[in-house]
Amino acid sequence: MPRIDFQIMSDLHLETPLARPTYDDFAATITPKSPCLALLGDIGYACDPRLFSFLEDQLHNFQTVFFLLGNHEAYGTSFPAAKALVESFAVRIDEVRCTSDIGKFVFLDQTRYDFEEGITVLGCTLFSRIPEQQADTTKMFVTDFSSIENWGVYHHNKAHESDLSWLNAQVDSIMAKEPGRTVVIFTHHSPTLLDMAIDPRHKSDSAQTNSAFATDLSAEKCWLSTQVKLWAFGHTHFNCDFQDPRTTKRVLTNQKGYSRAESITFDVTKTVSVEASIPSAPTGVSEKEDQEPQRNRFRHRSGRQNRQIDGQIKCMIM
């Protein structure tokens, strides 16, 4: 059966002044072990040009780079502004690709990406669900609500509802129309409260903030579908790699985190192979795509419309 290999990492926090290595140094440590690199959020600030220099460096080494927003990408600005900056970068890279053999950049913002091998990537931030009883403590202790403009628990929960609704709709559609297709889900926030995915130090949740990091999606279609073979995420700064006992999907994280102690289990070369459930078949790519090299054939679908933000994008690096 055909397969797709993904080199997966998240929570590099290259924006952190005390963290080593930083953008340029860390870029030099990434040795490609697969054609596809998946960067699952909290890589750096979107309002820092160094983030996009780092991403462009990876596009010279990988055939496809998947990228989604974590919460930290919006620090010093707003989520709409952070998204606009990433979208602008994506447009520029598409233009560069017309005259350069650079990799394809895929911004996972409620985005579906189909490989002709019969494998689909679904990606979004998947903000968590913060219950009313934890709203005050979360707002007090989680820095998102003081570091991101116009962002509160209400906005966080609405974003969760939007991302979850989109994921469920996508998986439901694939199950109904393409029962042989294999699905991979990439998110930043955690979709599970299984013990294997939680740092033992945080299970007591004495600060009443765990809902800002993970949400139990065990009853949701996107989690229950056996067509979903891999779910990778970040945000928790705790690495895991296990098979969900109920659905048999592989669940994993590969997060560097802030400190040296957190990064002990981080592996910059961590690569995951996903096999197609059925032999590959033509996916109806356009004539233009059909003329591209085999490695760039895909169908790219986004659940969002193109957005334009009025006025100047504010950026205050903290």
Flag whether 307 is in a domain.
no
pLDDT at residue 198, rounded to an integer: 86
Q: What is the pLDDT of residue 70?
A: 97
Domain ranges, residue 7: 3-302
pTM equals 0.87
Task: Tell me the CATH number at 274.
Answer: 3.60.21
In a domain, 308, yes or no: no
Query: What CA–CA distance (Å, rounded) separates 249 from 268?
Result: 22
For residue 272 the two structure tokens come to: 């995951």
pLDDT tens sequence across 195-232: 898 876 656 555 556 776 789 999 999 999 999 999 99
Residue 121 contacts residue 39 (beta carbons within 8 Å): no
> What are the CA-CA distances from residue 244 to residues 82, 129, 168, 226 (Å)?
33, 21, 18, 11
123's CB contacts (< 8 A; 6+ apart) are: 66, 68, 106, 108, 109, 110, 111, 113, 185, 186, 187
DSSP-derived secondary structure for 94-138: HHHTTTS--PEEEE-SSEEEEETTTEEEEE--------GGGHHHH
Burial track 211-242 (b if 16+ CB lie within 10 A, e otherwise): bbbbbebeebbbbbbebbbbbbbbbbbbbbbe
Encoded tokens for 286? 């356009």
Among 20-34, 134-148, 205-219, 259-273, the minimum mean pLDDT is found in: 205-219
Per the CB < 8 A criterion, the answer to whether 301 and 111 are in contact is: yes
CA 13 – CA 44 distance, rounded (Å): 5
- Token digits of residue 247: 């659905």
Residue 258's pLDDT is 83
Residue 294 lies in a domain: yes
Query: Residues 22-79: pLDDT tens digits?
Result: 888 899 899 999 999 999 999 999 999 999 999 999 999 999 999 999 999 999 999 9
- Nearest CA-CA partner of 300 in 126, 108, 168, 171: 108
* Domain-located, residue 203: yes
Banded pLDDT at 240 (limits 50, 70, 90): very high
Sheet arrangement for strand 111-115: 241-243, 250-253, 228-233, 182-186, 119-123, 111-115, 298-302
What are the φ and ψ backbone dihedral angles of 172, each rounded to 5 degrees? Answer: -60, -45
Query: For 287-298, what is each residue's pLDDT tens digit?
Result: 333 334 333 434
252 in any annotated domain: yes
- What's the distance, CA 167 to chain centroid? 13
Give a yes or no: residue 12 inside a domain.
yes
Edge-to-edge order in the sheet of strand 104-107 = 104-107, 64-67, 36-39, 3-9, 271-275
**In terms of C-beta density within 10 A (0-12 exposed, 13-18 middle, 19 or more buried), how is residue 40 classed?**
buried
- The reply to whether 311 falls in a domain is no
Number of domains observed in the structure of the chain: 1
CA distance linking residue 96 with residue 56, whole number of Å:
11
Predicted pLDDT of residue 136: 86
The span from the CA of 4 to the CA of 62, in Å, is: 13
Model pLDDT for residues 163-207, shown as the tens digit of each residue: 999 999 999 999 999 999 999 999 999 999 998 988 766 565 555
The CA-atom distances, in angstroms, between 182 and each of 125, 178, 179, 241 are 21, 9, 8, 19
pLDDT at 299 over 60: no
Count of helices and strands (H, E) across the chain: 8, 12
pLDDT over 60 at 308, yes or no: no
